Structure 1
């Protein structure tokens, strides 16, 4: 399928106006296809020509204004339309193919009960797999959907149901104008739970195999949904604009969720079947709030082209974090943002593939996928926090409400939004937007301290630096926190100072005059409150005090800033992994915030797998296991902290007898339930260590015949330390076009194990030889995720970098694979640097 270029989209938008889509689907036939009939009406200049995107399995008929179209009109998966009238009607009937990639109309057979489930996912350009369309975000139109489904199925869609379903026939009311990539539906024997709030019908959907779990979690989900709706209605003058609010939890979804109006779709791992931590429940609440923010940012007002993807994602990321903290019981979401989301954005921003939050040029739809990353999400959200601090919250919200009023059900650009906020605040945002939105990379803020002989600050200076290849200094609004240890050992905040870093007046050095003569603090915390988007480095004395001070800080956000700074410094090779695992051993067992525990363990484990040499890795892993052991012992039985510690211990332990005992129910810590998900985690670790084989995997799968069980079994099979098992797994990942996206991804996740380097090292060569062919067969988000997951990041060797350079030297490399290899190579470069 040729990717739609910006030039083509601009020309088409100037030539036509879309009036309406009427889509009628018949999903009753057996096999791998379904029937689609579309009536598309649009206006145009008489005598002109255009085209629609589509990807049929076979054409049944196509007419334009009653005249049959010649088969030759369909070339390159575009349907050419010539001799247009002022008002036009295109009628197309075709057989379309179900998907197994999480794109188009995805078909899933549940291994738990053999029931069939469908869901539609159109992002970025998947609508063509279901109906012919003008597939670009600025050609919005109302949609009317009808579906003929097997008896007993449930169908839900963007529009509200138009009357009762009869004989498998489901008809839906016309929607408000939507971009094509928001059109969606679910169909199958879905289980539904319904409610209502403030006049808005609410619904939750899931597979029958998860019905019991959804019923047990529906109150929590509805409570979060209602709280978020109320808060958005307090902030925004436009009420939720799309009638009903359904939330469907579907299998094998590629994203966390997708904001389709009226039928938001989530991956169904968010319906928990085993014990989870409060951190995971907070994450689910934040995703609910994020997708709800999109109902205004993205759905009501849609970007005109993909260069303004950030207008969707940065705002949803910022508001999702903010609204969850303001409206739900999860009040520490900015701590999560600091540890998890902002760190994701900063890692992406430092890679060779970095790009501006709002890039000037996105030449085609395929390239837009490359911006669907931590920069467009998390960096953009962090920048918005700076914007709110810069103009004030009242002006910020006034600008947003003006923006909604001016562009409701239409499209808008960065310039439109900035103009609205500028008018509301009275501040020209042009220069601010240039350095924050149009320029890439991240600055570093470092404290430089001079002391007097009597223990006071002579001068404190914040020094801002930028990478040589991106020499841009930015304004920052942040706080400095002065923390002291008291006689009782407690650590308390003595003073917090607000600082404006303005390179136009101060250059690279901002002197903090208020601190002159102030007694030196035990910890001078730069960016206390985590308002700034910047890499933070403490002065040497404060850095040396961190191991003693960190466990005693009451403020979880202050602790997150310190942990993030240490993890970032190790990632940059400025501090050794040994220092990190020593800090983890000292401070993590007493950490109170489970999100910090989970993210520190996740990031530390990733660094331990790659940064130490193979000879020094076992010692680092043992210290990580000791930290988890202490955490489990210190945590309250049944608590989230205990569960996080147990998971971390399973992943880092080499004590196979202990792990086997847990699997058999022996000597399990009080409060820990060895449920289905924990059993698979234990079994995978035993497989990696060579203490369990194929028979145990198949026995566990027989015990857990579910979608999650099948994925876990695939992960375990790929982790077997056996040459034949590795060969089978690799061929499956590279060559099987019929396998589901999620099973392939699980296989790739299990394949690369640092304990099995001698076995997997030869597959580094295979990756660079085989991946171009895999991505020719499996495109889009599914292909990108598989390419990322299968990257040989644990093979930390110069030869891996040489192979990457050879592949990157090819002129025919796809943009997706070029991005994946560029980023993967940078990770290996960093690991080699750390080892050196």
Structure 2
């Protein structure tokens, strides 16, 4: 790009535009003044936003990003510019800039409050009517709040000044250094300037938040002490449920660990952890003010798996304080550089710095499963992705960028050694602190620390796509003794069509079955450099009952079990007591179901036979989720009723088998509520709702109560009396959980007019009360999809007619929720797979709309692929039924 282009719409910043601006701009500082004192007025659509930017420019022209309600004034070096010529859509174009000395640009305008979780989100607590604000900016939503250069490689120092109600908690990335109370009941706080950071990790928090405070004292190597003020916040109505002291404790444990690991002091002054409502993500790594979904404030009984996941998220975000915040990628192509690192190191920290002991097992069962799904989509991409614009960046927060990348970094640590990996990270932070980097900078640090050439490794792992599959091949003599054995790597890169040939360092284990137990009889460390590697340790022995490649889950690969091993696992998985290899086996069997090489009913039976012996709460939760999905999506339609009845019977037995109040019982009860949506386990649901004696010794907490009402509605059993009781329960305790559950339940009723109303509500993102929030929209869509394929079929034609208008008129978050939420993905196979009407319609739409936005096509390609996968699995299930 040689010259500045002016066009609209222009929210979708291109990579070449960002590169052009980075070449010409040196941003010195930004001062942001936000006045949200009108936030409690529901009629106020926006708030005052005043930004002062100081920057040097090599050219007389540039553009500033600002998605606004209005722009009232733009001053360039004290002179007002013509707004009609300068302001065009989401950009403010400037010319006549000084090129010899820095420029000062002051932009006064009004920014919009958000309901989508993008920008400055406004939430009114249904319990007490209090108003809460928070920001979410990644990848490019800071421009919804203040004017800026919205790209990661234009870092600067930000100073925030915030005005709001005097009783409110106001916060940003840095500590408050001044506070002024006003006669009108408001106050203004000034925050210290930040070190150089990217716009997407600035943050603001405002509202009557409940605050728990603490302090972390870190002794540095030179003997000095580093004091880090900590805070944990949540809505006031959630204070009684909030274990803020536990958050402070975990934060302190993490800071201790990372200081030792990275040998670089925490650089951001304070450390706040804010738990906020209607959050689109799990968390966001804003330095000094990390935001988390308030689903991590447990209003119902929380299992060990939920606590572990929260700790893992906390450690993930803390890793970003160094990898992502201190050192940041130049552009979103290298998004993986921070997310993969944080996913890997965060799990490592959760395992080594906290009291949780199954972090890597949960990673193998849940995170890697996410990666395997994403990497088998038609939209798969290399870990180092090609990101031409912001829309592509927004969609690249996927299982490949996070979980595959983390799995590959775990393999990298095995490849170069843990000490070399640690030393490379330390050198990388010291050399590139407060700057921006690319992949080459990280590889250079690795080569220096390990002495190994990282070029070939990077080409094989980071710049290719697809899941490698590993299987063991062996020959035997007449006596059944192994005479030769090899570990074989197979797979095809779906992007290039080339064979997958990645280097692996992993362990291969041999297991023998005795007295119902599978015990490791032998193991070997193997370096697989290409298609095969000899397994000499197996030669001379009898064929093991189970041969498990990737026994320690060191690498990223799926296992294709030989016939003996698969039969052993399906019959004796409960005999495999070592948690990590057991999780690896479950994950590969699950992929076989999704790949239509193992029938869903066999997998369901394996879960019913063996899952109750799994003591890892995270894995047990994954298996019960897979139980529901296997029956509802992957089993042949004619088999589902019997499978549901069988599953309901077994799980009902588990309720009394498991200890009352245990994680397993809690998870089982919640799973039964999901099963009951199809009409089974009615007596159990009635017991949960108090309509029958609760003989199961199950505590009915908020989550189980509302799951039960949703089940009642979806099963067609929400009569007038039950509906009245549901509304009364929501009125008695009008939490956001309750109100969204009511939305889901009402939309779940198996009635054509109900579905019509729900469909229209989601499609328009509004109901009779006005615009929906992000969570309310998704809650309604969830209820709509709870219906038979026949009941929902009449809406498919309307869906395809609405897809493009929805994407073109809604923001990215809402558009994605609508298009994914209403997609006709749950289908009953009738005839050949390719004859399915919904599958054919999705294919036809994509063929007829080749020029549609890439981001939209990606959503539909992935939804179509998952639909096709489910239909093929149903077809395979039918042949084995």
Q: Give CA-to-partner distance per residue, 1:486-526, whole Å, 9 cap, x none.
A: 3x4433222211111111xxxx2322122110233221122
Deviations 1:366-404 (A, max 9, x none): 111121100000000000011101100111111111110
1:297 maps to what in 2?
323
Task: Show CA shifts across 1:244-300 (max 9, x none).
Answer: 000000111100111001100011111011112111111000000000011111100
1:541 aligns with 2:537: no
Residues 601 and 165 of structure 1, relative CA distance in 2, 3 Å threshold: farther
1:83 aligns with 2:59: no
- Is 2:505 the partner of 1:477? yes
Q: Does 1:73 align with 2:99?
A: no
**Residue of structure 1 aligned with 2:51, choices 35, 38, 44:** 38
1:137 paired with 2:137, answer: no
After TM superposition, list the pairs within 5 Å mapping 1:420-819 onto structure 2.
Answer: 420-467=445-492, 469-486=497-514, 488-503=515-530, 508-653=531-676, 654-664=680-690, 666-668=692-694, 671-693=697-719, 694-736=723-765, 738-753=771-786, 755-796=787-828, 798-809=836-847, 810-819=849-858
The 3-state SS of whatever aligns with 1:195 is strand
- TM-superposed CA distance for 1:201, in Å, is 0.6
- Residue 163 of structure 1 aligns to a residue in which SS? strand
Matched, 1:349 2:375: yes
Cα distance between partner residues in 1 of 2:816 and 2:297: 25
CA distance in 2, matches of 1:629, 1:456: 45
Pick aligned residue for 1:52 from 64, 84, 104: 64
Q: Deviations over 1:449-497 (max 9, x none)?
A: 32333343222222211127342211111111112223x4433222211
**Residues 1:330 and 2:356 are matched in the alignment:** yes
Matched, 1:827 2:852: no
The answer as to whether partners of 1:590 and 1:634 remain within 8 angstroms in 2 is no
The answer on whether the counterparts of 2:233 and 2:244 sit within 8 Å (CA) in structure 1 is no
Distance 1:411-1:796 versus aligned 2 partners, 3 A rule: farther
- C-alpha distance in structure 1 between counterparts of 2:774 and 2:346, whole Å: 28
Distance in 2 separating the partners of 1:224 and 1:148: 32
Distance, in Å, in 2 between the alignment partners of 1:234 and 1:163 is 34
Q: Deviations over 1:46-68 (max 9, x none)?
A: x5210001112112211101111
Taking the aligned partners of 1:211 and 1:472, their CA distance within structure 2 comes to 52
Q: When the two structures are superposed, what TM-score results if normalisation uses the length of structure 2?
A: 0.92
1:100-157: CA deviation from partner (whole Å, max 9, x where unpaired): 1001111111111111111111111111111111000000000000011012111011
Shift of 1:812: 4.1
Mapped contact 1:440–1:470 kept (Cα < 8 A): no
Aligned to 1:187, which of 195, 203, 206?
A: 206
Q: 1:164: Cα distance to partner?
A: 4.3
Which residue is equivalent to 2:223? Answer: none
Structure 1, 776-785 or 155-164: larger mean CA deviation: 776-785
Q: Is the 1:62–1:68 contact (alpha carbons within 8 Å) kept by the matching residues of 2? A: yes
Q: How many Å apart are 1:773 and its aligned residue?
A: 1.9
Matched ranges for 1:409-420 at <5 A: 409-420=434-445
Please say if residues 126 and 181 of structure 1, whose CA atoms lie closer than 8 Å, have aligned partners that are also in contact. Answer: yes
- The whole-number CA distance in structure 1 between the counterparts of 2:73 and 2:378 is 48
Equivalent residue, structure 2, for 1:100: 115
Query: What residue is the counterpart of 1:172 in the other structure?
Result: 191
- Matched residue of 1:197: which SS? strand
In the aligned structure 1, how far is the partner of 2:447 from the partner of 2:297?
42
Q: 2: distance between equivalents of 1:796 and 1:357?
A: 35
Q: What is the alpha-carbon distance in structure 2 between the residues aligned to residue 164 and residue 44 of structure 1?
A: 34
Paired residues of 1:589 and 1:627 also in contact (CA < 8 A): no
What is the CA-CA distance between 1:670 and the residue it aligns to?
5.3
Give RMSD over aligned pairs.
1.5
Once the two structures are TM-superposed, the CA of residue 766 in structure 1 deviates from its matched residue by 2.4
Going from structure 1 to structure 2, the CA distance change for 1:627 and 1:567 (only over 3 Å counts) comes to: farther
Q: Report the secondary structure of 1:616's partner residue.
A: helix
Distance 2:254 2:603 in 1: 38
Q: Per-residue displacement from partner, 1:805-836 (whole Å, max 9, x unpaired)?
A: 22212144222221111011111111221222
Give the secondary-structure state (helix, strand or coil) at the position aligned to 1:615.
helix
Quote the Cα distance in structure 2 between the aligned partners of 1:391 and 1:614.
Answer: 49
Cα deviation code 1:400-455 (max 9, x no counterpart): 11110111011111000000111110001001001100111111111223233334
Q: Where does 1:236-315 land on structure 2 (aligned, <5 Å)? A: 236-315=262-341
Which moved further from structure 2: 488-497 or 563-572?
A: 488-497
Please say which of residues 685-694 and 265-274 is displaced more in the overlay: 685-694
* Partner Cα separation in structure 2 for residue 52 and residue 457 of structure 1: 69
What secondary structure does 1:473 align onto? coil
SS in 1 for 2:788: helix
Q: How far 1:723 moved relative to its partner?
A: 1.4
Mark the CA change 1:59 to 1:246 in structure 2 (over 3 Å): closer, same or farther: same
2 CA distance for matches of 1:470 and 1:184? 44
Name the SS of the counterpart of 1:692 in structure 2: coil
Between the aligned partners of 1:658 and 1:173, the Cα distance in structure 2 is 56
For 2:657 and 2:852, how far apart are their aligned partners in 1?
Answer: 52
Assess if the C-alpha contact under 8 Å between 2:673 and 2:704 holds in 1. Answer: no
Pair 409,427 (structure 1): closer, same or farther in 2 beyond 3 Å: same
Which residue of structure 1 lines up, in the alignment, with residue 220 of structure 2? none
Question: Is the 1:62–1:69 Cα contact (8 Å) retained in structure 2?
Answer: yes
1:9 is aligned to: 18
In 2, the alpha carbon distance for the partners of 1:470 and 1:740 equals 45
1:212 equivalenced with 2:212 (yes/no) = no
Tell me, what secondary structure is at the counterpart of 1:23?
strand
Q: Which position in structure 2 is the counterpart of 1:202?
A: 230
Contact 1:25 1:34 in 2 (8 A): yes
Deviations 1:68-91 (Å, cap 9, x if unpaired)? 110111113210111111310000
2:136 pairs with one of 118, 121, 132: 121
Distance 1:220 1:459 in 2: 54
Per-residue deviation at 1:211? 1.0
Q: Give the CA deviation at 1:614.
A: 2.5
Structure 1 residue matching 2:126: 3-state secondary structure? coil
Of stretches 614-623 and 417-426 in structure 1, the one that deviates more from structure 2 is 614-623
SS of residue paired to 2:615: coil
> Which stretch of structure 1 is more off in the superposition, 709-718 or 517-526?
517-526
CA distance in 2, matches of 1:587, 1:56: 56
SS at match of 1:497: strand
Quick one: distance in 2 between partners of 1:766 and 1:563? 39
1:163 to 178, 183, 192: 178
Q: Deviations over 1:316-344 (max 9, x none)?
A: 10011111011111111111111100010
State whether residues 796 and 828 of structure 1, in contact with CA within 8 Å, keep that contact through their aligned partners in structure 2. no
Whole-angstrom CA distance in 2 between matches of 1:677 and 1:14: 52
Q: Check whether the contact 1:369–1:781 (CA below 8 A) recurs between aligned residues.
A: no
> CA shift at 1:661, angstroms?
2.2
SS in 2 for 1:98: strand
Q: Which runs of 5+ in 2 are unaligned?
A: 1-8, 218-226, 830-835, 876-881
1:401 aligns with 2:439: no
Superposition deviation, residue 669 in structure 1: 5.0
Cα pair distance change 1:726/1:470, threshold 3 Å: farther
